[in-house]
Amino acid sequence: MELVIITGMSGAGKHTAFKILEDMGYNCVDNLPIALLRSFADLAAGNPNSERVAVGIDIRSRTPISKLEGILDELDSDGRRIKILFLEADDQVLVKRFKENRRTPPLSEGRRTIDAIHAEREAIAFLKRRADYIIDTSHLLVRDLKTELTEIFSEGADYKSLNITILSFGFKYGIPSDADLVFDVRFLPNPYYDERLRPLTGNDREIVDYVMSSDKAHEFVEKLDDLISFLIPEYISEGKTELVICFGCTGGRHRSVTIARQVYKMLLKHEGDYGLRIEHRDIDKG
């Protein structure tokens, strides 16, 4: 079981870090009371479904943050080493973030924002000294923070920074609401007008042969290979986590299914770089 404490300066991006780790498969609990950390560690260790857990403990706790150091010492002596991720940012960056969000630091209590930041920095200095990982978010975009956390915590597991869904559909039933890229394949030969082929779908060899008998179909798939191969690294670098690529024909049973399958097979050669699945939304409709 891996237990990570996410801590650091208020305004340094802990909430964002939590969302990123959740996407990576961590069970996350924010603002855990300090007094519960020892019991929580015991419960998590005994739960087979909690292999990766992240908890947020910081200056917001009603218990003085200094008491956390003794609890961490006890857990270390018991052999239950807890990793600490400490998020940091420059004073002026934090002041700017608080002003932009119209929030005040937890230790304001009538202080100026900069004085509250200094007080917090002093109070949690021991956590920074004990931290396994320190990330300064002063000049990081969300996608940069995601890259940093992925490098630290993915450990070569099955985590994929981008999950791609190849989706076929019928225009008569509407364009999928979650579509990122939509391609209209109604220009290809339509098996619907052949009564022998009409009951079949793009999962059947006869339909595939019919649709792909067109030179335009092969040229279209080749051009898609170039386009999608170009776009995927750009989407990943931008921090996009899900990409839905849709192919539509009139009814969603023949041409769109055929082309979706061709593109899916095409992308399988790069599957180690991203997650990949295929879905035919309207294949069973009349």
Boundaries of every domain in the chain:
2-153, 163-280
Confidence of residue 181 (pLDDT cuts 50, 70, 90): very high
For residue 83, which phi and psi values (nearest 5 degrees)?
A: -75, 145
Least Cα distance to 256 among 235, 285, 226, 227 occurs for: 285
What residues does 135 pair with on adjacent strands?
Answer: 87
What residues does 277 pair with on adjacent strands?
Answer: 165
Q: CA 246 to CA 46: how far, in whole Å?
A: 43
**CATH topology assigned to domain 2-153:** Rossmann fold (3.40.50)
Pair of tokens at residue 5: 């404490």
* 1-11 confidence digits (pLDDT tens): 789 999 999 99
Give residues with Cβ within 8 angstroms of 93, minimum separation 6.
Answer: 138, 139
Averaged pLDDT of the chain: 90
Q: Which residue has the tokens 């690529």?
A: 245
* 199-230 confidence digits (pLDDT tens): 999 999 999 999 999 999 999 999 999 999 89
Using DSSP's 3-state secondary structure scheme, residue 83 falls into strand
Q: CA 103 to CA 107: how far, in whole Å?
A: 12
pLDDT score for 160: 58
159: left (phi over 0), alpha (psi -120 to 50) or beta: beta
Residue type, 105: P
What does each C-alpha distance from 215 to 164, 189, 221, 238, 258 come to in angstroms? 27, 11, 10, 35, 14
Q: CA 86 to CA 72: how far, in whole Å?
A: 15
Confidence of residue 76 (pLDDT cuts 50, 70, 90): confident
User: Could you give the percent of the chain with pLDDT greater than 70?
Assistant: 95
* 38-66 confidence digits (pLDDT tens): 888 888 777 766 678 999 999 998 889 99
